[in-house]
Structure 1
Amino acid sequence: MRICLLVPSIYGMRGDVRSVVNLAGELAERHDVEILSVRRHRERPFFPVAPQVTLSWVIDALPGVRHLFPQGQMRTEVALWRRLRALRADVVIGTRPGLSVQVARHAPREIVRIAREWGRPPMPGPIVKFYPRLDAVVAATERSRREWGLLLDGGADVSLIPDALPAGPWPRSRMDNRIVAAGGRLVSARAYDRLIRAFAVVAGKRPDWRLRLYGGGPEERRLRGLVQELDLHNHVYFMGTTSDLTGEFAKASIVAVTSRAETSGTAVIEAMASGVPVIGFDSPCGPGEFVTDGRSGVLVAEGDGEIEAYASALLALIGDERRRRALAAGALRAAAAHRASAVADRWEKLIVTTSRCV
């Protein structure tokens, strides 16, 4: 079977990109898999792609590349339409609403056409109009499945398939390092300022513990300034970007999540796969999609006093090794549903079922 995964750019360090790379690598064990990137702006993808996966792109945006036609959004859309109309595949999976609309409009009808969704539905106009042409819509979380189902209102089938972890074996934490880790792009939605302020309370009572932040982004300068303001330069460390977040989480004993929304949750499930309990806020679109409070991690209520509550939750887990290890075992059990082989099997079954219906 020939499977094409259409992404805006496979060269970034987003969680949804990581999920696509993981899924493609597993599917390529049994199928011909292509990742089609709308744009290429780097020589190599940030995350390593399995050698049996074919990489291609619509627009080459590498510095120094000369183009016959002017740059611009219209040029990109026209090039994408042409590529989709000439696509030779059995299945094409759009991984962003804007791309899935183009798949519905321009991919040949004999191809199984699927939309992969992570977050909430955006502005509904084009989606309501064109998604009924698709053969399936696949959400990554139960909340997302419900929201897309309400928007489409029977106009397209919406299934639930979780994100895939990297192929195993996964590194496992020994739970003996006095390290709290956090990972993801340093952007405002991640709310790392909440984590740093909470860790200031932790450092005052448990100065033997350290916080490691993995990632990069536009918020880094402001966050570094906050670390200096709170005199945490000996307690909080900016570790830079890594393509092996699972391995880095395995060096920690707690993973902290303070984001206001976990769209893909890749960092959360990679932490659980490393056998590390997660502490996060119990926000409507937060890590509660992946973490069960008291079984695989700890969820803290948002609102008044949230920084102090989060710091208290960290200190409680730091001071209770037996509880940390029990939650770590629960995290490993929860991560099993995200094994690449199990996730790929669900995709294959969906594709086969959908193929029989078209």
Structure 2
Amino acid sequence: MRICLLVPSVYGMRGDVRSIVNLAGELAGRHDVEIVSVRRHREKPFFPVEPRVTLSWVLDAQPGARHLLPQGQMRTEVALWRRLRGLKADVVISTRPGLSVQVARHAPRDAVRIAREWGHPPVPGPIRKFYPRLDAVVTPTETIREEWDRLLEGGVGVEVIPDALPAGPWPRSRMDNRIVAAGGRWVPGKAYDRLVRAFATVADKRPDWRLRLYGGGPEDRSLRDLVQDLNLHNHVYFMGTTSDLTGEFAKASIVAATSRAEVPGMTVIEAMASGVPVIAFDSPGGPGDFVTDGRSGVLVPEGEGEIEAYASALLALIDDERRRRELAAGALGAAAAHAAPSVAERWEKLIATASR
């Protein structure tokens, strides 16, 4: 079977990209799999791609690349339309609402066409008009499935299939390092400033513990300034970007997530796969879809006094090694649902059903 995965860019450092790369690698063991990136802005993808997966792109956005049409949205739409019209695939999986609308309009009708949605539904106009042409919509959690199901009103079936982890075996934490880790894109929605402020209390009371921050993004400068203002330069370390976040989390004993809406939640899932408990804010539609409070991690209520509450949760887990290990075992159990083979099998069953 020929499977095409259409993404805005496979070259970026995003959780949804990581999930697609993991899924493609697993499916490539049994199918002809191609990742089509709408844009290519660097020589190689940030995350390693299984060699059996074919990589291609619609527009080369690297410096010096030549194009027939001037740069802009029209050039992208024309190039994407041409690519979709000539696509030779049995299955097309699109990974953003804007792309899914174009797949519904222009991809070959004899192909199974599926929209993979991670976030909350956008402006409904084009969605309600064109999504009924698709064969299915897939979301990573039940919460998001319900939102899409309400929007589409039965026009197309909405299924839940979790994100896929990298192929195992996964590295496992020994839980003996005095390290709290966090990772992902440094953007306002991830709210790393809440973590840094909470860790100031931890550093004051447990100065032998360290916070490692992995990633990068537009909040880099403000986060570094905050660390300096709080005099945490000997306690908080900026580790840079990594394509092996699971491996880095395995060096920690706690993983912190302070996002205001942890979607798709690959950071949380990779932490659990490393056998590390997660402390997260219980934001609406957030980590609570992945973390079970008291079994695989700790959920802290948002709102008044949230920084103090988060710091208290960190300190409680730091001071209770037995509880950390119990939560770590629960995290490993929860991560099993995200193993690439089981996730790929669920995709194959959905495709088989949609093909009938």
RMSD (CA atoms): 0.5
Deviation at 1:153, TM superposition (A): 0.5
1:241 alignment counterpart: 241
Deviation at 1:139, TM superposition (A): 0.6
The 5 A counterparts of 1:106-185 are 106-185=106-185
Is contact 2:131-2:156 (8 Å) kept? yes
1:328 alignment counterpart: 328
2: CA distance, partners of 1:151 / 1:285: 16
1:296 alignment counterpart: 296
What CA deviation, in whole Å up to 9, does each residue of 1:290-336 have, x standing for no partner?
Answer: 00000000000111100000000000000000000000000000000
Is contact 1:9-1:38 (8 Å) kept? yes
Deviation at 1:65, TM superposition (A): 1.2
Deviation at 1:69, TM superposition (A): 2.0
1:98 is aligned with what amino acid? G
Aligned residues: 356
2: CA distance, partners of 1:141 / 1:103: 23
2:104 alignment counterpart: 104
Deviation at 1:70, TM superposition (A): 1.3
Q: Which structure 1 segments of 5+ residues have no match?
A: none
2:195 alignment counterpart: 195
1:57 alignment counterpart: 57
Is contact 1:118-1:144 (8 Å) kept? yes
1:148 is aligned with what amino acid? W
1: CA distance, partners of 2:339 / 2:101: 29
2:106 is aligned with what amino acid? H
Q: Which structure 2 segments of 5+ residues have no match?
A: none
Deviation at 1:271, TM superposition (A): 0.1
Is contact 1:268-1:287 (8 Å) kept? yes
SS at match of 2:170: coil
Deviation at 1:83, TM superposition (A): 0.6
Is contact 1:260-1:285 (8 Å) kept? no
Deviation at 1:68, TM superposition (A): 2.2
Deviation at 1:67, TM superposition (A): 1.6
What CA deviation, in whole Å up to 9, does each residue of 1:153-203 have, x standing for no partner?
Answer: 100000000000000000000000000000001111110110000000000
Is contact 1:19-1:165 (8 Å) kept? yes
Deviation at 1:77, TM superposition (A): 0.2
2:8 alignment counterpart: 8
SS at match of 1:120: coil
1:74 alignment counterpart: 74
Deviation at 1:273, TM superposition (A): 0.1
2: CA distance, partners of 1:38 / 1:83: 10
TM-score (norm 1): 0.99
The 5 A counterparts of 1:298-313 are 298-313=298-313
2: CA distance, partners of 1:168 / 1:47: 16
1:321 is aligned with what amino acid? E
SS at match of 1:184: strand
Is contact 2:140-2:162 (8 Å) kept? yes
Is contact 2:278-2:298 (8 Å) kept? yes
